[in-house]
Structure formats: C-alpha cells, structure tokens
Structure 1
Amino acid sequence: MKTNRDLSRLSESQLEDAALAWLKELGYAVAHGPHIAPGETAAERDSFGDTVLIGRLRDAVARLNTGIPAEAQEDAVRKVLRVATPSLVQTNRAFHRMLRDGVEVEYPRPDGSIAGDRVRLIDFDAPSENDWLAVNQFAVVEGQASRRPDIVLFVNGLPLAVIELKNAADEQTTVWSAYAQLQTYKADIPSLLGYNAMLVASDGVAARAGSITADQEWFKVWREIDAPPSPSPSIPLPKGEGGTATGMTYPPSTTGRGDGGEGQQAQQASARLELQTLLIGVFAKDRFLCLLLHFTAFEEDPDTGAVSKIIAGYHQFHAVNAAVEETLRASGMGVWGETHDPQDTEGRYWAGRMNDGAEGDRRAGVVWHTQGSGKSLSMLFYAGRIIRNPKMQNPTLVVLTDRNDLDDQLFGQFQRCHEILNQTPVQAEGRDHLRELLNCASGGVVFTTIQKFLPEKGERMPALSDRRNIVVIADEAHRSQYDLIDGLARHMRDALPGATFIGFTGTPIEKTDANTRAVFGDYISVYDIQRAVADKATVPIYYESRIAKLALNAAAVPKLDEEFEEITEGEELTRKEKLKTKWAALEALVGDPKRIALV
C-alpha cells in the first residue's frame, strides 16, 4: 500500500488533518477548536469574541520579560488586546510594531522615578522559547457574523496566521474559493485578522500565501524551502516511497488505490507537494519569525494615505538571507556557512554562498532577479536586514543608481516603507551634501547617483570614511559606469576604501563582463525569467517576426525641412548635418503609427 497521499482526492476535513500533521512535525502543538471553546473543560477563551488566547499570552509575557514588573507586563497585555482601530490595516500595522519592537510601558522605580521599557511579545532569537499552537475549526463571533476558519496558528497566544482550505475534489472550488473566504473574514471578523501576519489559501492542489491587503495577483506560491539549486521551475518530486525531498512524510493513505500512470504520478506528486512546501517553507519556526521581523513591510501612498502590507516572496527571502551572509563575509564583520555550487541551467533559482568569495574582499556579490519580480523590494528587505544585524554595528548604507530618475524611483520606494529601516532615508542633493552625509560616524541610508562621486577636474576623490561597516548597494550593477579602472567605481573606492559592494540587477551579467565581477563579485542569487513566469511573478513576452513596409509621405518632406531649418537656426553647418543624419535614421521611421498598426 502506498503511503503518499494524493491531496486532490481528499475531502476538506482530510486535507485539514494532513496540514495539521505537517505542522505537528514542525513542532506545533495541535488543538481541536471545539475542545478549547468557551464553556468546555479545556476552554482557553471566555467568549467566542475573544481571538487572543489570553492565558498563553500572559504566560509568554511573564516568561520573556522577567526584569519588568508584573503590573507593567499586564499593562502590555491590555495594550495588545485594545490595539483595534476603525481601520483593519492600521490596526495590523500598529500590532506589527508591537510584535517587532515590543510594547512600550512605564513603571515606577524604587526611588520614585519613572522607567520606560519595552515588553517583548515574542523571542525572535530563540524560536523554540515561544508557544506554538495550531487550532482547527476556531469559531469566532463578531457582531452578527459567525465564522469558523479552518486552521489558525498561534504564537504565544497571538493568532498570527489563518489557513483556509477547500475540497479539490469539488470541481466548483479552487484555491481562489479559499482566497474569497479569507476576504469574507476580513469583513466579518476583523478582530481576528487585526493580529494576522500571513494568510494561506489552498484547495489541496494549489497553495498561495499573502498579506491582509494582497489581492489575487499578490497571493503567491512558496516554491522552495531551503533554496537549493533547482534545474527547472517544477517542485522537486518525492524521493522514494512514503517520503519527500524534504524528509517529511504524508499521512497514511486510506484509499488503498494506486495513482495511475507514471505521468499522472509525477503530476500528482508535484501537486501534493505545493501545500506541504508552503507550510514547511513559511511556518517552520525560525523562518516564520524571520519573515515577521525582516520581510514584512507597510507601504504608505504619500498622496492618498492608503497603506499596503507587503510580505517577501520565497525568492526574495532566500536571496536576501544569502546576501546578508555574503556581506558579513565580504566586510570581514562576521562568520558564514558552507558554499553552494549553483547549476547553470534554464529556469533556475538559487541563493547561497559563492565558491570564490574571500573574507574581507569587499565584494558581496550580485543578486540577479529578472525584471518585474520585485527587485526594489528585495533591496529594501536587504537594507532592513543589514541595518538590524548586530554584527554590522550600525552600518551606513549607500544606495547607488546611475540616473536621477532611477534614484528618485528607488528613494520613493524606500521612503514609503521606511519603518522597516528604523530610520528615514536621505537623498543626496549634490556632491557637497553627499560628502557631508558620508562623513557621519555611523548609521544612515543615503541615496545618490554614481556621478556625484566624480572629483573636481584634475583631482583625486578624497577618502570620506575608511569604516568597514559601509555597504554600497548598486542598482543595475551590470552597467558600464561601474568600471573599476576607468569608470566611476574607482572614485567610489577612493572615497570609501573600506566599503563592501553589492549589486542588484534585473538582467544577467555578460560572461565577458570582468568589470562588474571585479567590483561586486559573482552571483549570490539567480531568479531567471523562466522561473518568474512559472511563478506568475512576470508575464511572458512572445515575439512574432513580420515584415512591415515603410513609406515616407513625399508631400510632408518640404514641411519637415522647413521646420528643421527653423529649429536649428543659429547652429553651425556641421552640427546641422549631424542632426539631419541622426533624425533621418530608420529608428525614426519604424515608430510611424501606420507601421505600428500593421505589426
């Protein structure tokens, strides 16, 4: 009898049991919602309107904050329970601050003075010190609405994740039916969703995760657990009967039936892994807390005030963690782990240590994530992660572009999500302002274009700081301006001789491009277009060759000549001839509306 389960045949309750079994293997305690409901012997709530398991929260607060008086601890618990505002997303934002930074409290000292402190709700440094609980059929009553989410995950009594499951055997339901149910919860039981860190929807075949503000487009697959080299966009198939590539097992089969042909087996194996991969990849204790702390951002539109909650995708999560490890190596300010040997194959995804990186070489590497897959957000998450790393000792980050418009775009992204940085980024207005910003003793996120590192004519760029905890983050690192010998990168090395360089790019580095590698090093992470298309992070582009005839309206020529002469009046003859040649080129003709319509 086979032990692998074909999840597409499971009922909703069986799928729920399978998910709980995987969570139990991750170290979660499992409870049946009706058993801990109000009025039961093992009740953990006074009413169905309570969405926090208050006893567990109080126990965790006492355990994690032994140096803070009990009265202040209880004050922190009250603030958590009263965090609600009229806006669900603003409630969630306020709670996320408490989760990340602790709850602000005050209490009297023995001498009568007032002490300020922060009460920790979660131990991010030691995940196992927290209380992990998965509860199924967790009924919530709010107003006239009564809802029963399939699975709620609690950490220290706080309902941080909701998992909604649907029966894949029902042709009328899909993963988006589960997504729609989650949207209903937002409207009907916001008291539960105000504490939420992650939403998951699955129909047993597909599985998607997103934030409370994410629409369908931003509910994404979580395809990798530990970011191993992968030769194709497909999920690795199980290794042997009864197990998977991750070493996790499925609940025993009760059907006693085979899965059909080999092709069908492979398809079903891939399908049943999707939910399991998401649960392990996201909700393993250390990864989930890392996502909460370092990979969750709130973006506020400066014009409308609308707030969106952003959670990193799997490619961003693994790439940034690898980039931080490589930065510690390159800066000489930390230790690192084993190297990985990425496979140079199509549809690849990889993140890990470089083979040739040496300690203190100041070349952290290059993250190549194809255009449209969230490169700016990857840079943001990397910046926040580096800033919070104690080994970097309050670093200064220099975010570098080669054009003013790119500088403005990237600066805008960081500014809208500045909370994750614990500081407000600053845009250098000129060379003098840049030098002033970089002369600081520590800290700071500085945006600039590479041209501002140009010295005065005939002079060498003066050294602004020799600190090793300065990190230069370059956007589109493959460009020619980063030439170490003749280009502007040389002036940056003169100005910041101890800085570590890391590059982010949406296009691959040419194999012959020695300059980029000399400045930044080799790839840290690769997420190519085939993988991005498979994940629906980008859309495919198709090319169809056609011949479109070009023709010039002879009647328009005299008018064009007349207007050209008027515009170029006063220009030297040689200059006018150059302009004529430039604008008479084929490039000007191919944009003709009639030709575009034909194509």
Structure 2
Amino acid sequence: MSIYNIVCKELVCISFYNEEAYEKSLMELFQNLGYNSFYGPNIERDYKNPLYMDDLEILYNINNHLDKKAVDKAIELIQDWGIGSLEEKNNKFMEYLQNGINVNYWSNGKEESTYVKLIDYDNLDNNIFTVINQWTVVDNEIKIPDIVVFVNGFPLVVCELKSPSRENTDTSEAYNQLKKYMQVIPTLFNYNAFCVMSDMSISKAGTITASEDRFMEWKTTDGSYESTQWADFTTFFEGIFDKKRFIDILKNFIVYSIDSTTKIKILCAYHQYFAVNKAVNSTLKAIDNDHKAGVFWHTQ
C-alpha cells in the first residue's frame, strides 16, 4: 500500500505521522493528479534562480507560431525585475501570467512587437505541471521550502507544511514561515500565484498580501459536495490542484485590488469559484434558450 493510501485510511495513526511522511504523501497525491514529481536536491541548477529552467523550454512549443527571438526576449524579461516592491513585481508577473507578455524584438533588421503566452489556457496538455519538494533558493538567505508547484517552469505555489504529530506546531507557524520566506528569499515570490499552509488537519490557501485570517480552506473537489471532515487534506489539494481547475483559478480567479497606497492580492474562496462558474454556464445556456439566467447572490 502506498504512503498516500496509508495516510488517507489510517488517520488514527496521526500521532506517529511526521512532517517528512506528510510531505511524501502530498508528493504522491500530486503524482496521482498527473504532475511530474522531483526531489529538489537531485536537480542540478543555479540555486539563485527560482525558475525550473528545464520546464521553461515549453514556452517555445506553446508559442511555436512566433519567432523564436520573441520567446527568447520573454524569458529574458521574466528574469529581469529591476527595482520595486515584492507586491509590484508580483503584480507585474500576474499580468504576464494571465494575459501574456508584450515583447519587442529585432528580426531581419526590423523591430517587431508581439505577445508571448506563459500558459496555454486553451490547451491544457500543452503545459507542464511539476511539483518539487525541498527546492533550495539562495537570496538574502538560503531557504528550502517544503513543496513548490510549477507550471511551465514558474514556481506558482509555495506549500509550507507542519507535522500533524508535533505539539505546539500548527498552521500559524507555517504562515509565519511563509512570511519569513517572503523577506529572505523574495525572488521566489515574484512568481507566486498563492501560498498554501497545512498541518494535515488544517489546509488553507492565501496570497502574499493576505493576513493569516484571510487564508481560506477548500472544502470540495468539484462543487457537488462540501466536505466538513476534520482532517480532509485530500479534498483541499485535489480541489485546488486538479489541472484544469488550477489554471482556471490562475487565469480568472486571482486579482490585485490597487488604490493609491496599497496593493492587495485576492484569491477566490472555493464557494465563489464554483458559484461564478455555475452562473457563467447558466448565462451561456440562457442565451441559447429562454434568456433567463437566474439570480446569483454572493458575499464579498
């Protein structure tokens, strides 16, 4: 029996279940979702670069209708951040991720301009989904996040885990660890879509600007049934990281709210995600039928 199945079926043994075992079980869960899985220390790379460069090559396939020089320029731009706050850099990257990156390049003595896509939102299988544990990053300090989720080489989600068997250790400590990472290895978070904190009994997701109380659970895998189990970490990870749903969240359900003084990054809650998609589908059907889409009540 796999570690993943043991964890799911033997929660009574939680007192003997340490952080390393939990990390391994989550890695297997991601594999079951179709993600490539690697152990960070086995990958030869520049630890100062948080991107997974091997997967980044997929951008040439996604943009195979473009001049290779355009993709070269895009890869150059997404590694050249200049000055600015973490929020400013992250907001810029989210714009690139959701809408593509505008590049200017020279071809045959003429300056050209085009957009390069970082994710193929129309063709799921054109993207590479990878999860890596123990991903070392060297910046102001050397840190090793527990699990990092990549799409096309971009480290979009950082997962910080805490042992479900250790006393005086919980998701609050995981949250504090994530905030510490943002201070000492900020280059990793330039590319961050959202973060996850989990001690198996509680799993929540939130953005780089979110306070701990704004990190949210995810209580359903497909919107048809809401789980209220105490230790249902599988619902959380399968609910968010199903490939199709994951890139839908990346494209349509993360936004920055910006005023003159602050930048607040917002990630949808699970009930908002399913309600909005249901409303959109209902509206599209109504266009072709009785033109009655119904009423959508929501809280903000």
Note if contact 2:164-2:201 (Cα within 8 Å) is conserved in structure 1.
yes
Poorly superposed stretches of 4+, deviation over 6 Å: none
| Partner AA of 2:72 in structure 1 | E
Compared CA separation, residues 84 and 197, structure 1 to 2 (3 A): farther
Counterpart in the other structure of 2:35: 28
Give the letter for the 1:212 counterpart: I
Gap runs ≥5 in structure 2:
none
State the match for 2:26 in structure 1.
19
What SS class does the counterpart of residue 308 from structure 1 fall into?
Answer: strand
Amino acid at match of 1:272: A
2:283 corresponds to which residue? 327
Identify the residue that residue 310 of structure 1 maps to in structure 2.
266
Equivalent residue for 1:179?
175
Secondary structure of 1:200's counterpart equals strand
How far apart, CA to CA, are the structure 2 residues paired with 1:229 and 1:150? 30
Tell me the amino acid that sits aligned with residue 75 of structure 1: K
User: TM-score, length-normalised on structure 2?
Assistant: 0.93
Aligned length: 293
> Counterpart of 1:430?
none
Task: Tell me, yes or no, if structure 1 residue 366 matches structure 2 residue 295.
Answer: yes
Q: Which has the higher contact order (CA 8 A, sep 6+)?
A: 2
The structure-2 alpha-carbon separation of the partners of 1:300 and 1:204, relative to structure 1 and needing over 3 Å to count, comes to: same
Aligned-pair identity in percent equals 34
For 1:227 and 1:92, locate their aligned partners in 2 and report how far apart those are by CA, in whole Å.
29
Residue in structure 2 matching 1:295, options 247, 253, 270: 253
* SS in structure 2 at match of 1:367: coil
Aligned residue among 224, 230, 233 for 1:271: 230
Question: What residue is the counterpart of 2:187 in the other structure?
Answer: 191
1-structure distance, mates of 2:10, 2:158: 23
Task: Give the Cα separation in 2 of the matches to 1:277 and 1:217.
Answer: 20
SS in 2 for 1:160: strand
> Cα–Cα, structure 1 residues 78 and 185, in superposed 2: closer, same or farther, change >3 Å?
same
Aligned match for 2:209, one of 195, 206, 213? 213
2:293 maps to a residue whose letter is: A
1:113 is displaced (CA, Å) by 4.6
User: What is the CA distance between 1:326 and its match in structure 2?
Assistant: 0.6
| Number of the residue aligned with 2:102 | 104
Distance 1:328 1:85 in 2: 44
Local SS of the residue matching 2:173: helix
Separation in structure 2 between the aligned mates of residue 193 and residue 216 of structure 1, nearest angstrom: 17
Change (3 A) 1:329 1:205: same
Structure 2 CA distance for aligned equivalents of residues 113 and 5 of structure 1: 64
Q: Deviations over 1:205-248 (max 9, x none)?
A: 11110011000111011111111155xxx53xxxxxxxxxxxxx
Is the partner of 1:365 in helix, strand or coil?
coil
1:128/1:285 contact within 8 Å kept: no
- Alpha carbons of structure 1 residues 147 and 281: separation in structure 2 relative to 1, 3 Å: same
Distance 1:148 1:294, change over 3 A: same
Q: Which whole-Å CA distance do the structure 1 matches of 2:134 and 2:225 have between them?
A: 38
Letter in 2 for 1:318: F
Aligned to 1:486: none
Say whether 1:73 aligns with 2:29: no
* Residue 140 (structure 1) aligned with residue 145 (structure 2): no
Deviation at 1:193, TM superposition (A): 0.8
Give the structure 2 partner of residue 8 of structure 1: 14
Q: Offset of 1:8 from its aligned partner?
A: 3.3
Match of 2:120 among 97, 105, 123: 123
Partners of 1:24 and 1:125 in 2: how far apart? 23
- Tell me the secondary structure at the aligned position of residue 276 of structure 2: helix
Find the aligned partners of 1:80 and 1:32 in 2 and give their Cα distance.
Answer: 25
Distance 1:205 1:84, change over 3 A: farther
Contact 2:73 2:105 in 1 (8 A): no
